[in-house]
A and B are shown apart, each in its own frame.
Chain A
Amino acid sequence: KQEVTQIPAALSVPEGENLVLNCSFTDSAIYNLQWFRQDPGKGLTSLLLIQSSQREQTSGRLNASLDKSSGRSTLYIAASQPGDSATYLCAVDNAGGTSYGKLTFGQGTILTVHP
């Protein structure tokens, strides 16, 4: 059974710092990995999706990498801002069958960026 772990559980940084969030998964047979952002009491917003054949994806100040063989992904946030404060979740789509969107989620990293 796939398990997804995110480290650290919480992170507090001053504005302007570059930071890295980590995600690990136990079964490397994944189809893709997605990073989401969740603001308090809200739904999830998709940030980046990395297909299993890709090594990284970039969007603005965000860069996500994927090392499928070692079961790891990192989300790099450059020049952090207070508006980046949120919970960040990673999720994997497990390969096999024709079903898609059946994601296994990590528990999230709560990020606080203080001015």
Chain B
Amino acid sequence: DGGITQSPKYLFRKEGQNVTLSCEQNLNHDAMYWYRQDPGQGLRLIYYSQIVNDFQKGDIAEGYSVSREKKESFPLTVTSAQKNPTAFYLCASSIQGRNSPLHFGNGTRLTVT
């Protein structure tokens, strides 16, 4: 079955540590996205990539980094510079071009203490 796999489902880290969230898709989609979801705030775009080896900052990119070395993979690193990293992180993908619905993974819940 085609889909988006995010791992792990739950992640716990100590403050000051960098952590990388995995996102893999086998839908052959060109575009991939990272969103953050906080209670009462909806989803906010962190980074997006429309093609391999290219990515753009979203609305809240500070304290995050990404890479897009393969079409299937779009890992997100939450760095120690991110002030409030505890959140639910969602990865999504879509085929190239507008008017293509987004497909989401099941998310990674990150808790930093």
Q: How far is the CA of A57 from the CA of B107 in the complex (A)?
A: 28
Q: Is the CB of A89 within 8 A of B43?
A: yes
Q: Is the CB of B90 within 8 A of A31?
A: no
Specify which of B45, B92, B101 lies most central, judged by the most chain A CB atoms within 10 Å of its CB. B101
| Interface residue? A63 (CB, 8 A) | no
Given A43-B90, A49-B99: A103 and B45 interface contact (C-beta under 8 Å): yes
Given A107-B40, A108-B42: A101 and B99 interface contact (C-beta under 8 Å): no
Within A20-75, the residues touching B (CB, 8 Å) are: 31-32, 34, 36, 41-46, 49, 51
Complex contacts, A43 vs chain B, CB 8 Å: 4, 6, 90, 92, 104-107
**Binary per-residue interface labels of chain B (78-93) against chain A in the complex, 1 for a CB within 8 Å, 0 otherwise:** 0000000000001010
Q: Is the CB of B58 within 8 A of A105?
A: no
Q: How far is the CA of A96 from the CA of B14 in the complex (A)?
A: 41
Q: Is the CB of B106 within 8 A of A31?
A: no
- Closest chain A CB from B48 CB (angstroms): 6
B residues contacting A by CB (< 8 A) are 4, 6, 31, 33, 35, 40-45, 48, 50, 56, 58, 90, 92, 94, 97-107, 109
A residues contacting B by CB (< 8 A) are 4, 31-32, 34, 36, 41-46, 49, 51, 89, 91, 93, 99-103, 105-108
13 A/B residue pairs, CB under 8 Å, sorted by A: A36-B102, A43-B90, A44-B43, A46-B102, A49-B99, A89-B42, A91-B43, A101-B102, A102-B48, A103-B43, A103-B102, A105-B44, A106-B42
